[in-house]
Amino acid sequence: MEELLLFVLFVLCTGSFFYMLVCTDSNSKTPMGWIRRIIYTKGPHLIKQQISQCRKIFGKKFYEKLHNLYQYIFYTNNPIGQILYILIFWSAFGVYYKYGIFKHFGNTPYVNHIHTACGAFIFIFCNYIFYRTCTVSPGVITSENCEDVKKRYEEYYDEVLYKSNQTCQTCKIIKPARSKHCRVCDKCISRFDHHCIWVRQCIGQNNYKYFVIFLFSHIFLCCYGVLVGILCLYGIAVKLQLFKLTYKNSVTGEIHKATAFRVFSYIIDKEPVFVFVIFVCLIFSITLIAFFLYHLNMIKNDKTTNERIRKNDFQRAYLTEMQALTEYLKTHQNDEAKKRLGQLKQCWKSLNNGKYQGLVLGLKKIFSYM
């Protein structure tokens, strides 16, 4: 029993670690936010420091090469994320195929070859959706379409975060509400959500739907892999009659029936690679489900990842102004100040809760963008 608890604890810890990597806010004051800050903000900085040290030891030329590599990895639109995704996804599927599908499917009463076909189909579908998410333009704003995009998002101008008279400093075109200039892609993106290194481009107005399907299809494949995998393992236990086994306690001489955990340990010994790959699927399922729910919640509240992150910018820039205005209006009558405070309050409210629109309407909106 203790071992089972440890196992559950391990799954939860690994799952929350991955959840922290993708979902938590770097500026949040929780322990998760603190760890994330170290990994994302301090990590690259530490690497940079170590590279600087190399200059003294290995000379200028080596340092320059290392520095260029650092710049390439962290600050350019490189295919490292895509290559990593394909490596992880394909090798996990390959291992599952060799040690699971090829060996057990059809050989146990619980899993037949229909699942081989279904698994292969979902795998191909996941690859197709990955391709679409990578290649469908997120919605680049140009001088030709900026007026149209501006009109589409007119209602989002709050004159605090999105100002109706603002232009992009780099592209020199109007900045529609909800858009952002991505520094990695060097383009203005409509309904900017975030820049995704795994697909080597921004997630914006036009490819957000593919991103959502991407998450859902991968969750489906991982959960399917876990379920069918467990059925295979159960089949092995039944075939070998492991549940009927007994063992003798060497100290007391008592005969015990094999517990589920003992059966599980025996199976791990017999099929270590298959159990490991099922475990990997389980961890990915937990992480992706958390990430997916996080996005569904944002869709429900009509909010983007970028807007969620901007909450901290707002706190830094406008919270003091808000407090000062509130204090001022206690003793003075000023319509301008009242209007400004109203704008700030509205913006703060929408940054915290978004504009609730419900999941169905939110999804409808996202899937209607072309």
> Which of 195, 218, 303, 340: binder of Zn ion (CB under 5 A)?
195
- Considering the complex, what minimum distance in angstroms separates the CB of residue 61 from Zn ion? 32
- Considering the complex, what minimum distance in angstroms separates the CB of residue 168 from Zn ion? 3
Q: Which is nearer to Zn ion, 175 or 340 (CB)?
A: 175
DSSP assignment of 70-93: HHHHHHS--THHHHHHHHHHHHHH
Q: Hey, is 161 helix, strand or coil?
A: coil
The C-alpha atoms of residue 18 and residue 39 are separated, in whole angstroms, by: 12
> Which of 71, 143, 170, 334: binder of Zn ion (CB under 5 A)?
170
Rounded to the nearest 10°, the torsion over CA 343, 345, 347, 351 is 180
- Contact region with Zn ion (CB under 5 A), list: 89-97, 176-184, 227-235, 352-360: 176-184
- Considering the complex, what minimum distance in angstroms separates the CB of residue 149 from Zn ion? 12
The C-alpha atoms of residue 1 and residue 7 are separated, in whole angstroms, by: 10
- Contact region with Zn ion (CB under 5 A), list: 108-116, 200-208, 282-290, 301-309: 200-208
- Considering the complex, what minimum distance in angstroms separates the CB of residue 299 from Zn ion? 20
Q: Which of 99, 90, 133 has the alpha carbon at shortest distance from 221?
A: 90
- Considering the complex, what minimum distance in angstroms separates the CB of residue 188 from Zn ion? 3
The residues in 202-231 that bind Zn ion, with binding defined as CB under 5 A, are 202
- Considering the complex, what minimum distance in angstroms separates the CB of residue 163 from Zn ion? 15
Tell me the angle at which helices 43-58 and 60-75 cross, rounded to the nearest 10 degrees. Answer: 160
Please list the alpha-helical segments (H only) found in the chain. Answer: 2-23, 31-37, 43-58, 60-75, 80-96, 102-104, 114-135, 146-152, 208-239, 260-270, 272-300, 305-331, 335-353, 359-368
> Which of 55, 181, 270, 345: binder of Zn ion (CB under 5 A)?
181
Tell me the angle at which helices 80-96 and 272-300 cross, rounded to the nearest 10 degrees. Answer: 130
Q: Which is nearer to Zn ion, 202 or 344 (CB)?
A: 202
Is 115 a binder of Zn ion (CB under 5 A)?
Answer: no
Name residue 184's amino acid. Answer: V
Q: Which is nearer to Zn ion, 130 or 348 (CB)?
A: 130
Within 8 A by CB and 6+ apart from 345, the residues are: 322
- Considering the complex, what minimum distance in angstroms separates the CB of residue 183 from Zn ion? 8
Phi and psi based region of residue 75 (left: phi greater than 0; alpha: psi -120 to 50; beta: remaining): alpha
# residues near Zn ion by CB under 5 A: 10
Contact track, Zn ion, 127-166, x by CB under 5 A: ----------------------------------------
Q: Which is nearer to Zn ion, 182 or 242 (CB)?
A: 182
- Contact region with Zn ion (CB under 5 A), list: 195-203, 248-256, 303-311, 319-327: 195-203
Q: Which is nearer to Zn ion, 181 or 300 (CB)?
A: 181
The C-alpha atoms of residue 199 and residue 202 are separated, in whole angstroms, by: 8
Is 168 a binder of Zn ion (CB under 5 A)?
Answer: yes
Is 188 a binder of Zn ion (CB under 5 A)?
Answer: yes
> Which of 32, 160, 182, 267: binder of Zn ion (CB under 5 A)?
182
User: Would you tell me which residues interact with Zn ion (CB under 5 A)?
Assistant: 168, 170-171, 181-182, 184-185, 188, 195, 202
